[in-house]
């Protein structure tokens, strides 16, 4: 269960890079981002030790590393809506562009909303995602993750 919940964190950390519902997502969201673990807060499953995400005009791919050597990776393709890759069967997603720098990702298991992640570009090189999580077992909780743009 821990890996499933932690994996669901992964798919909400950045916004979709395409135009959805008639609004264009700001291209400044594209690129490589590194999780700022020290600024982020996590739920009952604990924090990863590191994370990276790369998103393009077609979606994003993410990898998280956890203490003890566990690694989680998944992806979201946004070319024709919202398609999950590497996520347990029975889950589906939707995306909404709230503003060009604010994207809402909703993850459902069947008809039950399990996670809503609001990702915003809060500075030129920083995104913040607030995750509202409703697990199968246990109480709902909120996580906030910060990501820094990689500079080469």
pLDDT at res. 21: 47
Each residue of 7-34: b (16+ CB within 10 Å) or e?
Answer: bbbbbbbbbbbbebeeeebbeebbbebe
Mapped onto helix, strand or coil, the DSSP state of residue 135 is: coil
The pTM is what? 0.83
User: How does pLDDT run across 106-117, given as a tens digit for each residue?
Assistant: 999 999 999 999
CATH of the domain at 100: 2.40.128
Q: Which domain holds residue 143?
A: 2-149
Residue 46 to residue 42: CA distance in whole angstroms: 6
Of residues 4 and 152, which shows the higher confidence score? 152
Give CA angle at 98 (107, 59), nearest 5°. Answer: 55
pLDDT at res. 39: 97
Whether residue 11 has pLDDT greater than 80: no
Query: How many domains would you assign to the chain?
Result: 1
């Amino acid at each position: 269960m821990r890996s499933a919940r932690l994996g669901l964190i992964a798919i909400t950390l950045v916004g979709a890079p395409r135009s959805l519902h008639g609004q264009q997502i700001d291209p400044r969201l594209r690129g490589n981002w590194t999780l700022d673990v020290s600024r982020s807060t996590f739920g009952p499953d604990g924090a990863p030790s590191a994370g990276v995400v790369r998103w393009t005009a077609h979606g994003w791919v993410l990898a998280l590393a956890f203490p003890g050597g566990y690694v989680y990776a998944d992806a979201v393709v946004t070319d024709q809506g919202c398609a999950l890759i590497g996520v347990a069967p029975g889950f589906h997603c939707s995306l909404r562009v709230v503003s060009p720098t604010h994207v809402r990702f909703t993850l459902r298991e069947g008809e039950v909303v399990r996670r809503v992640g609001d990702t915003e570009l809060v500075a030129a090189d920083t995104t913040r995602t607030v995750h509202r999580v409703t697990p199968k077992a246990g109480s709902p909780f909120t996580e906030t993750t910060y990501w820094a743009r990689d500079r080469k």
